[in-house]
């Protein structure tokens, strides 16, 4: 994992170029309808058949290089589905991000969003179950240290994701039919997300490490 200093330096240098690149894509190449966008594929989760959007073009793989902290490079009402897995916790303004995804989706479009499961982490912290937590990014002995690891990940995560909080933000953005899902095995729209589910990971299906919700833009 890159240091915070290295990442901050990269974004200071590259952010203007990413925003210009995203604007050019939107003006010249963005689809007008029916597309599927995958936000944040990183190095290992590129999805063929999707438009993969990321800031990481050097060690990762993406179709569109742009900064996800700002407006997405898609036309209004142009996407049929958006998939985002362990991305939103890194963003400084999730509320604005959800509103922008709502803008990009066509009527009836579906958003599947996942990130670190704050509800599960709180439950395991209360149960004093250190085994549920990993040692990443720092080797911590205490349950409190491991909880802090999970929630903030060396200060890479900017917020705690819980079902009620994400549901509130999604509904405020205009989404309906907001539904809690389980990783890997559970989607209300398997025809859209089957290949995405294959990329998900989970070691505790009873108390998942990843919080996943699906929501629809009204028809």
Provide the number of structural domains found in the chain: 1
Q: Does residue 123 belong to any structural domain of this protein?
A: no
List phi, psi (to 5°) of 73.
-85, 45
Whether residue 204 is contained in a domain is answered as: yes
Rounded Cα–Cα distance for residues 69 and 51 (Å)? 17
φ and ψ of 216, to 5 deg = -120, 145
Total-model pTM: 0.93
What's the chain's average pLDDT?
94
Q: What pLDDT, on a 0 to 100 scale, did the predictor assign at position 177?
A: 98
- The reply to whether 40 falls in a domain is yes
Residue 12 CA to chain centroid, in angstroms? 22
Q: Provide the residue range defining the domain that includes 108.
A: 4-117+161-216
Angle made by CA atoms 77, 214, 36, in degrees to the nearest 5:
40
> What's the rounded mean pLDDT across residues 6-21?
79
Judge contact between 184 and 209, C-beta under 8 A. no
151, part of any domain: no
Q: What is the pLDDT of residues 46-65, one digit of tens each?
A: 999 999 999 987 777 899 99
Residue 146 forms part of a structural domain: no
Q: C-alpha angle 162/128/152, rounded to 5°? A: 40
Tell me the CATH number at 178: 3.40.50.150
What pLDDT, on a 0 to 100 scale, did the predictor assign at position 6? 66
Q: Is residue 142 part of a domain?
A: no
pLDDT in tens, 133-186: 999 999 999 999 999 999 999 999 999 999 999 999 999 999 999 999 999 999
- Indicate if the pLDDT at residue 32 is higher than 90: yes
Ramachandran category for residue 162: left, alpha or beta (phi over 0 → left; psi -120 to 50 → alpha): beta
128 within some domain: no
Q: For residues 196-209, b (16+ Cβ closer than 10 Å) or e, as one string?
A: bbebbeeeeeebbb
Residues whose CB is less than 8 angstroms from the CB of residue 131 and which lie 6 or more positions away in sequence, other chains included: none
User: Tokens standing for 33?
Assistant: 């309808």
CB atoms under 10 Å from CB of 106, counted, come to: 18
Q: For residue 143, is it within any domain?
A: no
């Amino acid at each position: 994992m890159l240091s915070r200093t290295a990442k901050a330096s990269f974004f200071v240098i590259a952010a203007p170029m990413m925003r210009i690149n995203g604007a050019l894509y939107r003006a010249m190449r963005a689809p007008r309808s029916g597309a599927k966008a995958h936000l944040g594929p990183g190095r290992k989760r590129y999805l063929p058949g999707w438009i993969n959007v990321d800031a990481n073009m050097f060690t990762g793989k993406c179709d569109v290089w742009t900064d996800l902290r700002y407006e997405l490079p898609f036309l209004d009402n142009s996407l049929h589905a958006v998939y985002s897995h362990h991305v939103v916790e890194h963003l400084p303004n999730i509320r604005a991000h959800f509103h922008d995804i709502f803008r990009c989706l066509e009527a009836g479009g579906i958003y599947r969003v996942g990130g670190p499961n704050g509800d599960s982490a709180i439950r395991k912290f209360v149960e004093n179950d250190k085994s549920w937590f990993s040692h990443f990014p720092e080797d911590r002995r205490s349950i409190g240290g491991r909880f802090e690891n999970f929630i903030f990940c060396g200060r890479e995560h900017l917020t705690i994701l819980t079902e009620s909080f994400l549901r509130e933000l999604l509904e405020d953005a205009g989404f309906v039919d907001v539904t809690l899902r389980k990783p890997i095995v559970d989607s209300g729209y398997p025809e859209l997300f089957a290949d995405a589910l294959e990329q998900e990971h989970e070691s505790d299906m009873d108390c998942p490490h990843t919080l996943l919700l699906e929501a629809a833009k009204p028809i």
